[in-house]
Structure 1
Amino acid sequence: MSIQFDFRAAAKQVLDIEVSALQQLDQYFDAQFEQACELILSNRGKVVVMGMGKSGHIGNKIAATLASTGTSAFFVHPGEAAHGDLGMISAGDIVIAISNSGESHEILSLFPVLKRLNITIISMTGKPDSNMAKLSDLHLQITVPKEACPLGLAPTSSTTATLVMGDALAVALLQARGFSAEDFALSHPGGALGRKLLLKLSDIMHIGSALPKVAPNALIRDALLEISEKGLGMTAIVDEHDAMLGIFTDGDLRRTLDKRIDIHTTKIGEVMTQNPTTAHPEMLAVEGLNMMQDKNINALILCDNNKIVGALNMHDLLKAGVM
Structure 2
Amino acid sequence: MKKIIYTLMAVFCIGMTACDQGEPLVIPQLDIVESTVDFEAIGGKGFITLASLGEKVNASSSTEWCSIQNVTGNKITFNVTENAEITTRTAIIRVTAGAITKQVAITQIGLVAQYERKDFYSYPDNVAFTEPIKFTSSLPIAVTIDNDWLSYTETEEGFQFKAEENTSGKARMGKATVKSGDISIDYCFLQYGIEGLCKEWDATYSDGEAMATDKFTITQTEGNALNISIAELGYQRISAIYEDGAIKIPCGQIIATKRMQNGSTYYIALGTLNRAETQAGLSENITCQLVPYLNNKTKQWGLTFVDNGSWQYDQIGIVNWALTSTGSLAGYWDKILNLCLN
TM-score bracket, shorter-length normalisation: under 0.3
Whose radius of gyration is greater, 1 or 2?
Answer: 2
**If the length of structure 1 is used for normalisation, what is the TM-score?**
0.25
Task: Point out the structure with the larger strand share.
Answer: 2
* Structure number with higher relative contact order (C-alpha < 8 Å, ≥ 6 residues apart): 1
**If the length of structure 2 is used for normalisation, what is the TM-score?**
0.24
